[in-house]
A and B are shown apart, each in its own frame.
Chain A
Amino acid sequence: MAGLPKRIIKETERLMADPAPGITATPHDDNLRYFDVTIAGPDGSPFAAGNFRLELFLPEEYPMAPPKVRFLTKIYHPNIDKLGRICLDILKDKWSPALQIRTVLLSIQALLSSPNPDDPLATDVAKHYKEDEKDAQRVSQEWTQLYAK
């Protein structure tokens, strides 16, 4: 791989030196484009007190192309399927090179606070959330306690 672009080096340095609250991102030693990420479940959401692990990869075209992010921890969320893929517009068509790793992870954290069942990825979970939100939140909470310790 060619030398790491300065932008990635700068972003990594900032993430390590000044991490966003509730978010950590650590690059792999053998591949500085691959990050181990943890996001703390936002307070007031069914995912509170959970500690969710994610993987983040910066493709060769970054920052012209969005980073690839995926949940590794199981999560009961209408916009995250059972493979951990995330339905988030800025990770797809709404990507802008002005965004960065930090903003992407903050967006994901915000997505945990406000699930959007109208744009679902996990249709069964979205259905559950639409029909009985209380019960769906209870399941989310159970999964958080079960898997996101």
Chain B
Amino acid sequence: MATYNYVEPTNSNLVCCICRAPFVDPVTTQACSHTFCRGCISEALEHSLQCPVDRLPLTPEDLTSAGPLIRSLVDELLVSCPNNDCPHVCQRDLLQGHLDACEFLIVDCPEQSCHQMVVRKDAVNGACIHSAVICSECYAEVAMSEYEAHSSTCPDSACSCEHCATEISKSTIELHGETCERAPVVCTHAPNGCSWKGERRLRDGHISSCPYEAIKGFFIIHKDTTAALKEENALLQAKIDALQGHLRATTRDLQVAKAALGPWYTNAVNRTEAGLPIHHPPRSRAPTSASLNPATSPQPPLPGPRASISTLGSDAPNPAPASVTPTHVNATPGPSNTSHDWRAHSSRPSPNISHNWDPSSLTARSIARDVVAPIDLGTSLEGSLHGLRESMVTLSTTVDSVGRRSEIALTNETVRLNEEVMSVRAHLHGLRMQVHAIMMDRNTQVTGRVDEGGGITEGAWIPTRFSQVPGQPQIPLSITKL
């Protein structure tokens, strides 16, 4: 016996340390009293003449059969039959007896010409189960071994109706069930609430007295109405679904638009909530725009650029025809005013002339007041961008004109200064001449007093000094050359 299929775990004391299975024909060593299967220890001794457990010298002659106690312990272990499908379980020493009679043992087919294998129980009647047989019901060819399985499912095999006990074939039994007079059925008005149940042959009798039969017409009308309502309902449901889908798409679009608009969106919502028209007069929103855009002048902007920003709305009332006036035209009074100021300033001998040239004092006021339109959150983003762009154009124009203005002013100032310098020089020349005359007069007096030997009094020279002709310088130290 090669292997046993033990059905329970074995006590480890009964396990051979070589094959790790319960002893088969156990033998014990005389010297060290170790027990092994006879087959295992014999094979081990062929390799090495020593005990596998303690390596003491060992020869086959030293082996004796194990005691009857061990033998009976291992012989009583339960094993299962090794043949497939055989459920037999028995003590190990009885297994051989079972195998001799096991019905599941594979044997040759009893038919000499057939070379297939069969389990023994199929071979007992001597017939080959592999030969084909004809089904007595459906006349199909079926192998003998499959005949049993076939006959239980053969569509032509007879069976009896469970209601009327008629013998009919299996394949038609379902058909028969629909017409069998004795089959249990319910009233035709069962869907409407009739609870009658009975054999089919009794149903006609019931219907004649069925209370539901009397209002059959109502049921038909009711059914039609219900069907129409259901259809309509389904239609409406579909419509709702479509609308919901549409709403979802719109909401999604709105979200995208919101994300794109950023801060502009909030403003639009406020405006809508306030119930104001989209393009209401810009001046009413001036505080908002000023607070959002602190860089701009707190002054209310001119209607011109504002109106041009909000002209996107076709229904917006055009505030003034002046709205089309180009900003640089608005600014044209600027240069004359400023040049006038400069003239006033320059006429004063101000020591701080450079102050007049400060570009900020020159232009900041006019730009802030005239051309910069604050960002208008009241219009659409596009309109605001358009307005901003317009403001930029205006700004650049203004900067340009301011540049030109200051250039002209510079030139004017230079000319004026030149003139002034010229006049100062002329004055200076006159003064020099006068001083020269005075000096000459004094020189003459001094020289004259020296010449006259002090005959002239101190006060006498004053009336005469202008009548004196300048003479030759007598005392070079006191004469100032101009």
Genuine A/B complex = yes
> Quick check: B21 and A64 within 8 Å, CB to CB?
no
Q: Does B43 contact A (CB under 8 A)?
A: yes
Complex interface: stretch among A73-81, A91-99, A115-123: A91-99
Question: What A residues does B3 contact at CB under 8 A?
Answer: 6
> Quick check: B55 and A7 within 8 Å, CB to CB?
no
Q: Does B18 contact A (CB under 8 A)?
A: yes
> Quick check: B52 and A6 within 8 Å, CB to CB?
no
Q: Does A65 contact B (CB under 8 A)?
A: yes
> Quick check: A94 and B55 within 8 Å, CB to CB?
yes
- Least CB distance, A18 to chain B, in whole angstroms: 14
Cα separation A98 to B41 with both chains bound (whole Å)? 10
> Quick check: A97 and B52 within 8 Å, CB to CB?
yes
Whether A64 contacts B43 in the complex (CB less than 8 A), given A6-B20, A11-B20, A98-B18, comes out as yes
Cα separation A77 to B103 with both chains bound (whole Å)? 62
Cα separation A95 to B19 with both chains bound (whole Å)? 15
- A-facing mask of B36-72, CB < 8 A → 1, else 0? 0000100110111010110100000000000000000
Whether A97 contacts B20 in the complex (CB less than 8 A), given A6-B3, A64-B43, A64-B44, comes out as no
> Quick check: A10 and B53 within 8 Å, CB to CB?
no
Whether A63 contacts B55 in the complex (CB less than 8 A), given A97-B40, A97-B44, comes out as no
Question: What A residues does B21 contact at CB under 8 A?
Answer: 6-7, 10
- B-facing mask of A43-66, CB < 8 A → 1, else 0? 000000000000000000101110
Cα separation A99 to B52 with both chains bound (whole Å)? 8
Whether A98 contacts B43 in the complex (CB less than 8 A), given A6-B20, A7-B19, comes out as no
> Quick check: B47 and A98 within 8 Å, CB to CB?
no
Question: What A residues does B47 contact at CB under 8 A?
Answer: 61, 64-65, 97
> Quick check: B19 and A6 within 8 Å, CB to CB?
yes
Cα separation A90 to B19 with both chains bound (whole Å)? 18
Cα separation A11 to B40 with both chains bound (whole Å)? 17
Partner of B18, one of A11, A95, A97: A97
Question: What A residues does B46 contact at CB under 8 A?
Answer: 64
> Quick check: A96 and B19 within 8 Å, CB to CB?
no
Cα separation A98 to B46 with both chains bound (whole Å)? 15
Interface size class of A (residues with CB under 8 A): 10 to 19
Cα separation A5 to B2 with both chains bound (whole Å)? 10
- Least CB distance, B154 to chain A, in whole angstroms: 42
> Quick check: B52 and A96 within 8 Å, CB to CB?
yes
Question: What B residues does A98 contact at CB under 8 A?
Answer: 17-18, 52-53
Question: What B residues does A96 contact at CB under 8 A?
Answer: 44, 48, 50, 52-53, 55
Cα separation A64 to B39 with both chains bound (whole Å)? 12
Cα separation A96 to B21 with both chains bound (whole Å)? 17
Closest chain A residue to B43, Cβ basis: A64
Cα separation A65 to B48 with both chains bound (whole Å)? 10
Cα separation A94 to B53 with both chains bound (whole Å)? 11
Question: What B residues does A6 contact at CB under 8 A?
Answer: 3, 19-21
Cα separation A97 to B20 with both chains bound (whole Å)? 10
Cα separation A100 to B18 with both chains bound (whole Å)? 9
Whether A97 contacts B55 in the complex (CB less than 8 A), given A64-B43, A64-B44, A64-B47, comes out as no
Cα separation A11 to B48 with both chains bound (whole Å)? 23
Interface set, chain A 1-29, CB cutoff 8 A to B: 5-7, 10-11
- Least CB distance, B255 to chain A, in whole angstroms: 53
Cα separation A2 to B294 with both chains bound (whole Å)? 95
Question: What B residues does A7 contact at CB under 8 A?
Answer: 18-21
Residue picked from B3, B20, B21, most chain A C-beta under 10 Å:
B20
Cα separation A95 to B50 with both chains bound (whole Å)? 10
Question: What A residues does B48 contact at CB under 8 A?
Answer: 95-96
Cα separation A64 to B40 with both chains bound (whole Å)? 9
- Least CB distance, A72 to chain B, in whole angstroms: 28
- Least CB distance, B271 to chain A, in whole angstroms: 69
Residue picked from A11, A63, A65, most chain B C-beta under 10 Å:
A63
Question: What A residues does B17 contact at CB under 8 A?
Answer: 97-98
Question: What A residues does B40 contact at CB under 8 A?
Answer: 97
Question: What A residues does B19 contact at CB under 8 A?
Answer: 5-7, 63
Cα separation A61 to B19 with both chains bound (whole Å)? 12
Cα separation A96 to B44 with both chains bound (whole Å)? 8
Closest chain B residue to A8, Cβ basis: B20
Cα separation A94 to B48 with both chains bound (whole Å)? 10
Question: What B residues does A10 contact at CB under 8 A?
Answer: 20-21
Closest chain A residue to B2, Cβ basis: A6
Cα separation A32 to B51 with both chains bound (whole Å)? 28
Question: What B residues does A94 contact at CB under 8 A?
Answer: 55
Closest chain B residue to A99, Cβ basis: B52
Cα separation A95 to B52 with both chains bound (whole Å)? 8
Question: What B residues does A63 contact at CB under 8 A?
Answer: 18-19
Question: What A residues does B55 contact at CB under 8 A?
Answer: 94, 96
Cα separation A43 to B43 with both chains bound (whole Å)? 40
Cα separation A99 to B18 with both chains bound (whole Å)? 8
- Least CB distance, A52 to chain B, in whole angstroms: 27
Cα separation A37 to B435 with both chains bound (whole Å)? 127
- B-facing mask of A77-118, CB < 8 A → 1, else 0? 000000000000000001111111000000000000000000
The contact sample of 15 A-B pairs, CB cut-off 8 A, is A6-B21, A7-B20, A10-B21, A61-B47, A63-B18, A63-B19, A64-B44, A64-B47, A95-B48, A96-B48, A96-B50, A96-B52, A96-B55, A97-B52, A98-B17
Q: A64-B46, A97-B47 are in contact. List 14 more A-B contacts (CB 8 A).
A: A6-B19, A6-B21, A7-B20, A10-B20, A11-B20, A63-B18, A95-B48, A96-B50, A97-B18, A97-B44, A98-B17, A98-B18, A98-B53, A100-B20
A residues near B (Cβ < 8 Å) are: 5-7, 10-11, 61, 63-65, 94-100
B residues near A (Cβ < 8 Å) are: 3, 17-21, 40, 43-44, 46-48, 50, 52-53, 55
Those 3 A-B pairs whose CB atoms lie nearest each other, nearest first: A98-B52, A98-B17, A96-B52
